[in-house]
Amino acid sequence: MMTATAIFAPFLAPYHPIDDANLLYSEEPPSHQFFFGTDSQGRDIFSRVIYGARISLSVGLLSQLMNSIIGIILGLTAGYFGKWWDDLVMGLTNIMLSIPAVIFALAIMALLGPGLINVFIALGLTNWSFTCRITRSQVLFTRDLNYVKAAQALGYGKIRIMFTQILPNIVGPILVIATLGIAGAILMEAALSFLGLGTQPPTPSWGGMLAKAREQIFTTPWISIFPGLAIFTTVLGLNLLGDGLRDFLDPHTAKKV
Amino acid sequence: MFAYTVRRMLQFIPTIFAITLIIFLLLNVLPGNAALMAGGKNRLPPEVMEKLKERWGLNKPIHVRYMLYMKDLAQGDLGTSFFAREKVSQMLASRLWPTLKLACTALLIACILGIPLGFYSALRQGTWVDTITMVGAVSGVSMPQFWLGLLLMFLFSVQFKLLPTFGYGEGAAINLILPSLTLGVGYMALLARTTRAAVVEILTQDYVRTARAKGLTEIWVNRKHVFRNTLVLLLTSAGLQFGSLIGETVVVETLFSWPGIGSLLVNSIFYRDTPVTQGCILVIIIGFLIINLVVDLLYGVIDPRIKYQ
């Protein structure tokens, strides 16, 4: 199953570009063809689902990018400098791990108020602890290896060593975490929008559409199907890609499964 | 073991202290939000707003407010809701039981179905049961809970009219079925995946080969050697992922209009009812910490090699 996943991951993942390409067509006024039916305001759900992809994917990608950058910088510096900075960063990471991510995101949304930009910020700040931990442990492992020592002997600066010598060697696991993180962020954006705290109507977002569908489940049940299906396939694709990448980058697990 | 438990409990204190500080700062750096919101669309006249701020204690500087908050907290007082005029601790107490009931039922469903499925598919790798389980598991992890909830709601409540759609129904068991199923499926998928991975890993270990070489029957090997070791691996990731189950409770409670802590939290965020938001978050995090402690203690029960120093 895992190898099948690894093989199919490249085929499963690139459907985002296809979604993005379709955006050109859906710029036309909605409800000229009702592939997925229309919602209560006569808007074509097909178009809205495709538009929603813009929101979901950009939220997923950008907030995870933010998470990765925070995690990498904190992890690299904590592992490399050590001492009190390491203690501080690790303390912060442990606290972050002891707060469920959704709850922390909700707290940030409570501060900033509902809205798309605020979702970016909330999700971008909540999920960096895993990246940070892995980066730090990898730094601790590579710090005393010979090539890093050689770089030190050559008189490279600390920051240069961190980014040119250590970072390239730990890109693999970080990439895997990031892929799965994008999937998580998309799910979380959908959940926040569903709760009414994320993307505000009339901007189409998958989670927001489902919130609307909940009110109309007795009259127009088809509304609830397609936005959810869109979230599901996107997240599934990313999860499979993440699993595939992990197996590809880590021959140890690939061999076993 | 007892000393260890006590020491772990003591470790809670700085963690909770740090968390209250973070949450308090997050929710209180913008003063007077609640007073602004109280008038709804029509802004209140400034003198009324000043009065409200005074009553809610929002006119004091933030460090003074934090001190007051911590002083009350030390006495078990979580403050008073801005709008409901009710003690936050009372509001939380009345909402705790529905949430616990929902989360525990979901957990039970997940464990009863997820672990055996994962176990079975690891032992019968490559069969159709294995394939279906793993496809189902990946799907279950990738599915937004509230969507699954909507689909179940549509199927069982709207089409077949078997189960009620929303609400707590005065605690009737029939109202519990859909929410707990919705909440449980994601966790079940996760457990099935983790169990399978753990069993696959353990089956390659030397002691399993030794046990087989001793001539033990396959059932005995699985029961004595594989299952017990699986539990240790399983406990780690199940405990780690419990946080996501708690997070999903918020969404599922809102979807099913379940009167639990999660829906209280979401409502309080809408109304900027800061004391309630703070209280909910605190209770949820403490719950999460307690679960982590229980997981740590369970290691010792399952795996006698682990000694608590």
The region of weakest confidence among A29-43, A92-106, B170-184, B295-309 is: A29-43
| Rg of chain A, C-alpha, whole Å | 21
> What pLDDT is recorded for position B35?
54
> What pLDDT is recorded for position A39?
52
Greater model confidence, B280 or A255: B280
**Smallest Cα–Cα separation from B238: which of B202, B285, B287, B291?**
B291
Q: Do B144 and A235 touch (CB under 8 A)?
A: yes
Q: Which amino acid is at A178?
A: A
Do residues A242 and A181 make contact, with C-beta atoms less than 8 angstroms apart? no
Q: Report the alpha-carbon distance of residue B259 to residue B99 in Å, rounded.
A: 8
Q: Report the alpha-carbon distance of residue A56 to residue B51 in Å, rounded.
A: 42
| Cβ-Cβ contacts under 8 Å, A238 against chain B | 142
Taking CA atoms, A97 is separated from A203, B129, B164, in Å, by: 32, 35, 36
| Chain B touched by A225 (CB under 8 Å) | yes
Q: Kindly state the tokens that stand for B254.
A: 């809102």
Mean pLDDT score of chain B: 76
| Cβ-Cβ contacts under 8 Å, A111 against chain B | 26-27, 29-30
| Cβ-Cβ contacts under 8 Å, B30 against chain A | 111
pLDDT band at A18 (very low <50, low <70, confident <90, very high): very low
Q: Report the alpha-carbon distance of residue A73 to residue A100 in Å, rounded.
A: 22
A64-68, B62-66, B155-159, B168-172: range with highest mean pLDDT: A64-68
Q: Report the alpha-carbon distance of residue A109 to residue A197 in Å, rounded.
A: 7
> What pLDDT is recorded for position B279?
83
Tell me how far the alpha carbon of residue B101 is from its chain's centroid.
12
Q: Do B251 and A197 touch (CB under 8 A)?
A: no
Q: Report the alpha-carbon distance of residue B24 to residue A188 in Å, rounded.
A: 23
| Cβ-Cβ contacts under 8 Å, B27 against chain A | 107, 110-111
Q: Measured between CB atoms, which of B142, B146, B247 is closest to A194?
A: B146
Q: Do A102 and B147 touch (CB under 8 A)?
A: no
The percent of residues in chain B predicted with pLDDT above 90, rounded, is: 0
> What pLDDT is recorded for position A7?
41
Greater model confidence, A17 or A185: A185
Distance from CA of B29 to the nearest CA of A (A): 8
Whether ipTM tops 0.85, in short, is: no
Q: Measured between CB atoms, which of B144, B157, B284 is closest to A228?
A: B144
Q: Report the alpha-carbon distance of residue A138 to residue A128 in Å, rounded.
A: 16
Most A CBs within 10 Å: which of B12, B133, B150, as the mutation test of the A interface? B150
Q: Assess whether pLDDT exceeds 60 at residue A172.
A: yes
Report cis status (omega within 30 of 0) of the bond before B98. Answer: no
Q: Do B147 and A239 touch (CB under 8 A)?
A: no
> What pLDDT is recorded for position A9?
39
Tell me how far the alpha carbon of residue B84 is from its chain's centroid.
25
Q: Which amino acid is at B78?
A: L
Q: Which amino acid is at B267?
A: N
pLDDT band at B54 (very low <50, low <70, confident <90, very high): low
Distance from CA of A194 to the nearest CA of B (A): 8
> What pLDDT is recorded for position A1?
41
Q: Assess whether pLDDT exceeds 70 at residue A136.
A: yes
Do residues B145 and B217 make contact, with C-beta atoms less than 8 angstroms apart? no
The region of weakest confidence among A142-151, A223-232, B7-16, B162-171 is: B162-171
Do residues A80 and A158 make contact, with C-beta atoms less than 8 angstroms apart? yes
> What pLDDT is recorded for position A254?
44
- Residue whose entry in the numeric block shows the structure tokens 């707003």: B49
Q: Do A217 and B158 touch (CB under 8 A)?
A: yes
Taking CA atoms, A197 is separated from A185, A201, A254, B153, B262, in Å, by: 15, 11, 41, 23, 14
- Residue whose entry in the numeric block shows the structure tokens 């021959």: A251
**Smallest Cα–Cα separation from A225: which of B216, B205, B224, B152?**
B152
- Summarize pLDDT for A42-58 with one digit per residue, the tens: 555 655 666 666 677 77
pLDDT band at B63 (very low <50, low <70, confident <90, very high): confident
| Cβ-Cβ contacts under 8 Å, A243 against chain B | 138
Q: Is the pTM of this model over 0.80?
A: no
Q: Report the alpha-carbon distance of residue B73 to residue B146 in Å, rounded.
A: 34
CB atoms within 10 A of CB B64: 11
| Cβ-Cβ contacts under 8 Å, A236 against chain B | 138-139, 142
> What pLDDT is recorded for position A52?
67
Taking CA atoms, B171 is separated from A57, A153, B40, B93, B156, in Å, by: 40, 70, 33, 15, 19
| 3-state class percentages of chain B: helix first, strand second, coil last, to nearest 5 | 80, 0, 20
> What pLDDT is recorded for position A201?
64
> What pLDDT is recorded for position B169?
63
Distance from CA of A111 to the nearest CA of B (A): 5
